[in-house]
């Protein structure tokens, strides 16, 4: 089938927070092993060769994130790693002390954390408390202190994301760790958006478990890791062959793991240079978009945010309409809302930050990455004025 003649000649990709193109080094590392045969659990030569790929990759990731190789547990991605952390740590802590029924988190977590929390609340009789955030999406530390102080012996786990996937706000992880450490409470952080974007050091951060995934750092889909301190007991979700410290059974994928390791190593090595470049592009994007649409408002912390994140609310517009109008012009981004069964829903992140339903539904996230260029920003700035006008006119006609 031939492509439509009115299709855009070039796609402008501004959705790197959803997934970013694979780095050439990751593609090379992965394809190098795709034709090789060998189960890493086998004892013969082919199995040992596959195991060597896995263990060398584990060492590479450990060096990049400043953790011990044995603390890197490979998973199928960020969602599995978050589930393993939240459920596995809770189960172990609750089994050791039945009084530990409470899990503290924030109202702006990714659904890979929120949904397991809701499941534990409904099915495992956990008591989940989602702590409030300020207007920038930053955790209210006083609320965390007060919640723990109320009954510290009942808290099993604290889970706070390193950086918000929607509005880009960086959370005060060091302060969270300090507060939790006073009572010996382990801290998990979803660092999926943070690794390669901002400095992430597992050892110095003090967190007990950290989630990362391949396709956010220029690696392949379907592979990630939970970095978890060896001293912390984690009940497995999946039982079988006892791979990955008996925390995550299942035959692991050496080619994908090699690609993940290459991407993590390079993205961490180039993090500072990358951040400087995309911050310049992002600030230019925000300034020029707001010059064309003065009412557009930037969401999230204005300073402590991911370098490539520009999350904007466009009053009088539906985010879904803006997205599709931009997509028709070859510009790809995302909304600040989720869609369930075809029904648009306001972003839980923006609602938690105090936005109205209309504001939350009228937002777009532009996220820049390693392939982003000044021409991408130019294309968005050229398109955004007519697109916003058309979206507003469409909304007025529906009233």
So which residues are the catalytic ones?
Answer: 339
Kindly tell me the sign of the dihedral angle through the C-alpha atoms of 153, 157, 162, 163.
negative
Torsion of CA 299, 304, 308, 314, to 10 degrees: 10
- Beta-carbon contacts of 314 under 8 Å, excluding residues fewer than 6 positions away, are 293, 295, 296, 322, 362, 363, 364, 388, 391
Residue 78: count of CB within 10 angstroms of its CB: 26
Please classify residue 11 by burial: count the beta carbons closer than 10 Å to its beta carbon, then call 0-12 exposed, 13-18 middle and 19+ buried. middle
On whether the CB atoms of residues 306 and 16 are closer than 8 A, the answer is no
- Beta-carbon contacts of 98 under 8 Å, excluding residues fewer than 6 positions away, are none
> Helix 374-398 to helix 271-292 angle, to the nearest 10 degrees?
40
* Distance between CA atoms of residues 364 and 376, nearest Å: 16
- Beta-carbon contacts of 270 under 8 Å, excluding residues fewer than 6 positions away, are 196
Identify which of 12, 10, 113, 15 has the alpha carbon closest to the alpha carbon of residue 311.
15
- Beta-carbon contacts of 271 under 8 Å, excluding residues fewer than 6 positions away, are 196, 197, 198, 199
**Residue 138 per-residue DSSP state:** -
* Distance between CA atoms of residues 141 and 307, nearest Å: 23
* Distance between CA atoms of residues 152 and 182, nearest Å: 10
* Distance between CA atoms of residues 296 and 71, nearest Å: 44
* Distance between CA atoms of residues 28 and 255, nearest Å: 10
Angstrom CA distances, 370 to 21, 100, 277, stand at 8, 43, 9
**Residue 248 per-residue DSSP state:** S
């Amino acid at each position: 089938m031939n492509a439509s003649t009115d299709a855009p000649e070039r796609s402008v990709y501004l959705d790197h927070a959803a997934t970013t193109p694979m780095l050439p080094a990751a593609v090379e590392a992965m394809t190098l092993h795709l034709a090789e045969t060998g189960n890493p659990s086998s004892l013969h030569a082919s199995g040992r060769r596959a195991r060597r790929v896995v263990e060398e990759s584990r060492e590479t990731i450990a060096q990049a994130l400043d953790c011990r190789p044995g603390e890197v547990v490979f998973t199928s991605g960020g969602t599995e790693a978050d589930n393993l952390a939240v459920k596995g740590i809770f189960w172990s802590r609750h089994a050791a002390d039945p009084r530990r029924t409470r899990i503290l988190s924030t109202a702006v977590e990714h659904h890979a954390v929120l949904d397991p929390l809701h499941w534990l609340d409904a099915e495992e009789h956990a008591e989940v408390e989602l702590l409030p955030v300020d207007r920038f999406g930053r955790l209210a530390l006083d609320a965390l202190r007060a919640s723990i102080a109320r009954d510290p012996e009942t808290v099993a786990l604290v889970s706070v994301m390193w950086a918000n996937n929607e509005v880009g706000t960086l959370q005060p992880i060091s302060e969270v760790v300090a507060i939790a450490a006073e009572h010996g409470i382990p801290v998990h952080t979803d660092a999926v958006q943070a690794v390669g974007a901002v400095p992430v050091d597992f050892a110095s951060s003090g967190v007990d478990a950290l989630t990362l995934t391949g396709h956010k750092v220029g690696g392949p889909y379907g592979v990630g890791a939970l970095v978890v301190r060896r001293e912390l007991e984690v009940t497995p979700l999946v039982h079988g062959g006892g791979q990955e410290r008996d925390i995550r059974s299942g035959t692991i994928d050496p080619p994908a793991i090699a690609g993940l390791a290459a991407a993590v190593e390079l993205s961490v090595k180039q993090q500072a240079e990358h951040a400087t470049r995309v911050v310049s592009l992002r600030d230019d994007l925000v300034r020029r978009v707001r010059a064309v649409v003065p009412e557009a408002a930037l969401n999230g912390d204005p300073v402590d945010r991911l370098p490539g994140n520009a999350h904007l609310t466009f009053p009088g517009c539906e985010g879904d309409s803006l997205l599709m109008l931009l997509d028709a012009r070859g510009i790809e981004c995302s909304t600040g809302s989720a869609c369930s069964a075809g029904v648009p829903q306001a972003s839980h992140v923006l609602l938690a930050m105090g936005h109205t339903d209309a504001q939350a539904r009228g937002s777009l996230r532009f996220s820049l990455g390693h392939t982003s260029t000044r021409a991408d920003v130019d294309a968005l700035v050229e398109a955004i004025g007519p697109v916003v006008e058309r979206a507003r006119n469409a909304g007025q006609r529906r009233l």
